[in-house]
Amino acid sequence: MYTVAVKRDFVGQHFLIGGDWGAENERHSHHYVVEVQLEGSELDRHGYLVDIVDIEHHLEALVAHYRDRTLNELPEFAGLNPSIEHFARIFGESLSARITAANITALTLKIWENEIAWAAYRLAR
């Protein structure tokens, strides 16, 4: 099984809802790091699992969508607590829809919200 990964970082904001989490209930920023890992058992005719430039293009487009935004105000988070778990799923599903390489069998999207805490979402394709 082959794995290719690319990561990007950006600053975004959110505030947690639905519970009493103290300061986390107030709008605050995170320096997020997003890492996508693509898996597959076969390489294309160029010896790639997927072209890294293609991954970078789609990843950067999504990062630009979230950069300097408040997650709570975006339609994809309507009615959701904007946890990093939800964020990983939403980001992963959006990225998976953009990457069309036929030999990809799984995508894992990991989002770090600081140096010690992350959540991931894995999609089998």
Question: Residue 89 domain-assigned?
Answer: yes
Question: Residue 97 domain-assigned?
Answer: yes
For the entire predicted model, the pTM comes to 0.95
Q: Which residues contact 33 (CB under 8 A, 6 or more apart)?
A: 7, 8, 9, 111, 112
The tally of domains found in the chain comes to: 1
Question: Residue 61 domain-assigned?
Answer: no
Question: Residue 38 domain-assigned?
Answer: yes
Range of the domain at 39: 1-9+31-47+84-125
Burial of 84 (0-12, 13-18, 19+ CB in 10 A): buried
Q: What is the pLDDT along the chain (125 residues), one digit of tens a residue?
A: 999 999 999 999 999 999 999 999 999 999 999 999 999 999 999 999 999 999 999 999 999 999 999 999 999 999 999 999 999 999 999 999 999 899 999 999 999 999 999 999 999 98
Question: Residue 102 domain-assigned?
Answer: yes
Question: Residue 23 domain-assigned?
Answer: no
Angstrom distance (rounded) from CA 78 to CA 71: 9
Question: Residue 19 domain-assigned?
Answer: no
Identify the CATH number of the domain in which residue 39 sits. 3.30.479.10
Question: Residue 35 domain-assigned?
Answer: yes
